Structure 1
Amino acid sequence: FGHTERGLSRRSAVADCRGGQRSGDATHHASDEEQLLLLLALQNKRKRRCWVHEINTKKKSFGEYHRLCIELQSHEDRFFQYFRMSRECFEELHDLVKENISKLPTNWREPIEYLATGDSHQSIAFSFRTGRSTVSKIIKEVCQEIWNNLHPTYLPAPTEQIWNEAVEGFSKVWGFPNCLGSIDGKHIKVKCPSNSGSSYFCYKNFFSIVLLAVVDPFYKFMVVDIGSYGRHSDSTIFENSAFFQQYIDGKTILPSKPLPGTDNPVPHVFIGDEGFALQTYLMRPYPKATMISDVKKKKFNMRLSRARRVVENAFGILAMKWRVFLRSIETDVKTAECIVKAACCLHNYIMIKNNNTFIESEEQTETIRALSDMRSTNRRTNTAAFEIREQFASYFNK
């Protein structure tokens, strides 16, 4: 505005130097111009002042953190219901990530509420009295920091020791020896990605990315592969995953060994449902039509189903605790992948802090089917895979 005044003064000085002859019309015109410039300057000034809505200026008095979150710290049970973890876990988590999120412009509890409740970004923005775009930015950045800080400890790349511990657990707890892990894939609802065509449109008639996971005998994620197109089957996703390329394709995770009480070496295997093709490294159930009168096949399917259930239970726990999975994730695909990775890390973090037990609450008695199953496959398999399954079936029928 000061520049406007100086500009008008310079124009007046030039006019005076040229003879000081200013007609009434010229004076009137200059006055109109000055008023117009003044009005524009004031309008621009008002626009700059309105970048923070007046509602959001009251966050310290009425925002959810200052109004509710602080009060919850005095009530452990309510704190757990709200944040889906104990206060002790929450504070330890905060200590792990606080250095890298201190630059963010508002409270980091917003992303935890988003994961726990699944509320929309706009709803959380109103609750915490901050901008919607700010909430979206914070959720993305904090989820990325949760992944960066937690996954080396709570979801590390499996080592030989980790695989051996899983094998021992599946044998002792679930009665399925030589089992490396239970594997499955689930559709995660996302909003329609731009310029994606039908790539993310799954057979359930919604847009999705796929969470492919290997789970240990104690309901913890060992491996997660996130982001494959929703239209693909389990086997296609599995065989194109980074996990498959790193650990399975032409490789041996652990050397073969005999099943207990037997002499012939049998490969270590993953177990999955009908969504996966039978392979030498992956066992699936016998088709229902072939086991109607075959007791050996029935027993194999029962044993496999019991051990495989850990991955279904892990997905169920994930969806019940982090209710962001109960609705479509309203971000771009990359941010959705980041959110899912963070939730999987938090799942393991809380399970380990709770000594591999799942703390129940009233809401967890509900039946939740938030994550959709993958499509079954009838791909042909090789003779060696059939023979390995027969060896397991014979062992379970001793």
Structure 2
Amino acid sequence: MSDADALVAAATAIFMSALVDQHVHRSTRRFWSRPSLVNGRKKYSTTEFIKDLLLDEVDPLNLEYRRNAGFKNFFRMKSSDIETLLGMIGLIISKKNTTFRKAIPPSERFAVTMRFLASGDSYSSLSYLLKMSKQTISSIIPDVCAALISVLQDEVKKPENASDWNIIAKQFHDLWQYPNCIGAIDGKHLTLQAPIHSGSEFFNYKSFHSIVLLAIVDASYNFIYANIGCQRRISDGGVFNNTSFKEQLDTNALHLPPPCPLPGRQLPMQYCLVGDEAFQLTVNLMKPFSGTYARGYKERIFNYRLSRACRVSENAFGILSSSFRVLRKPMLLEPAQQLK
């Protein structure tokens, strides 16, 4: 055997030894789940923790619901709402038991997801709190969120005819004194940790990484339309221009009511959305006067009334963030997971 052959043989032996060691290292499992999590679930499971939270919800003296109960503070929802949602998605998120271990019950899977949405805590923090591994939580939350979207997507209803739009317009006129308004539009930047290898793709004009939640809201803070996922240095108006709602609005596919006069006037006016300075002024989208155009008395009154109507969308985002505080914190997830 020549020196070259010996060198190749030695290198081959070292390489194969490394593969064997790597295979042995990968196949050797110290335990199925960490003892701290297994023992913690045996001593005090998530199901028992939820039962204890329910005891705080009812005052034992008068048996009335207490608004500041521990259950609602923990999940940001009442137990009755939790039961309703769990009844809708319980069969979808349930898993079968195997010969190796029992599946996590749907109630606990739903509890993990609701706590994540209510607090915005990291998966590691939830792992220590609810005694589940981080890998398990990372698979549970997207599955439960997908199930919630599938059963609740019809609850965000876009009006289908002129009669439905007229109801919204009447609410804006009665509550906010702005006639012929069919919705308030605004966008919210959801902060996220810079995605891997994304560069400046998600870096917005406000100098942080985000994706945009664009929404149209009626006078009672109900969402009519929502679009999420746009990124980069795009304003709210630019996001709206790329939505299907804008396309339907331009092609008269939304079945808006015919133009009608404003109160005390005779000239017919189009029904329109209201937005801030970030949006483009069109026939069906009104924005406030800006700069020198807002110095007159009539212009200031118009801006005041329009801002009252626009404030509905900002208030809706505030209510949403107050209930689901995951929207207040930077999300430590990849955008593909957040869009679910």
Q: What TM-score, normalized to structure 1?
A: 0.70
Gap change, CA 1:70 and 1:264, over 3 Å in 2: same
Q: Secondary structure at the match of 2:193?
A: coil
The equivalences for 1:85-96 within 5 A come to 85-96=77-88
Whole-angstrom distance in 1 between the partners of 2:164 and 2:52: 41
Post-superposition shift, 1:325? 1.3
Q: For the aligned residues, what is the CA RMSD?
A: 2.2
Whole-angstrom distance in 2 between the partners of 1:143 and 1:328: 18
Gap change, CA 1:329 and 1:44, over 3 Å in 2: closer
**Cα shift readout 1:249-289 (whole Å, capped 9, x = no counterpart):** 32253122222232221111000011111111110110143
Partner of 2:56: 75
Pair 1:199-2:191 in alignment: no
Partner of 2:46: 65
1:98 aligns with one of 90, 94, 106: 90
Post-superposition shift, 1:176? 0.9
Q: Secondary structure at the match of 2:55?
A: coil
1:233 aligns with one of 221, 232, 235: 235
Q: Which has the higher contact order (CA 8 A, sep 6+)?
A: 1
Gap change, CA 1:167 and 1:45, over 3 Å in 2: closer
2:276 aligns with one of 273, 276, 279: 273
Which has the greater radius of gyration? 1
Partner of 1:159: 160
Post-superposition shift, 1:187? 0.6
Q: Is 2:189–2:210's contact at 8 Å kept on the other side of the alignment? A: yes
Whole-angstrom distance in 2 between the partners of 1:88 and 1:127: 23
Gap change, CA 1:242 and 1:332, over 3 Å in 2: farther
Q: Secondary structure at the match of 1:73?
A: helix
Partner of 1:286: 289
**Cα shift readout 1:66-103 (whole Å, capped 9, x = no counterpart):** 45222011222221111111111111111111110012
Partner of 2:252: 251
Partner of 2:15: none
Post-superposition shift, 1:47? 2.5
Whole-angstrom distance in 2 between the partners of 1:286 and 1:174: 18
Deviates more, 1:295-304 or 1:95-104: 95-104
Whole-angstrom distance in 2 between the partners of 1:309 and 1:135: 37
Gap change, CA 1:53 and 1:233, over 3 Å in 2: same
Q: Is 2:288–2:302's contact at 8 Å kept on the other side of the alignment? A: yes
Q: Secondary structure at the match of 2:185?
A: strand
Q: Secondary structure at the match of 2:29?
A: helix
Q: Which runs of 5+ in 2 are unaligned?
A: 1-20, 58-68, 97-102
The equivalences for 1:123-138 within 5 A come to 123-138=125-140
Whole-angstrom distance in 2 between the partners of 1:252 and 1:237: 20
Post-superposition shift, 1:165? 2.1
Whole-angstrom distance in 1 between the partners of 2:279 and 2:118: 31
Q: Secondary structure at the match of 2:28?
A: helix
Give 2:129's aligned amino acid: S
The equivalences for 1:101-180 within 5 A come to 101-103=93-95, 105-106=103-104, 107-108=108-109, 109-152=111-154, 154-160=155-161, 161-180=163-182
Whole-angstrom distance in 2 between the partners of 1:50 and 1:140: 26
Give 2:263's aligned amino acid: P
Q: What TM-score, normalized to structure 2?
A: 0.81
Give 2:46's aligned amino acid: Y
**Cα shift readout 1:129-176 (whole Å, capped 9, x = no counterpart):** 111121111111111111110121x21343224423211211111111
Q: Which runs of 5+ in 1 are unaligned?
A: 1-39, 339-398
Give 1:93's aligned amino acid: L
Q: Is 1:184–1:234's contact at 8 Å kept on the other side of the alignment? A: yes
Partner of 1:25: none
Post-superposition shift, 1:203? 1.8
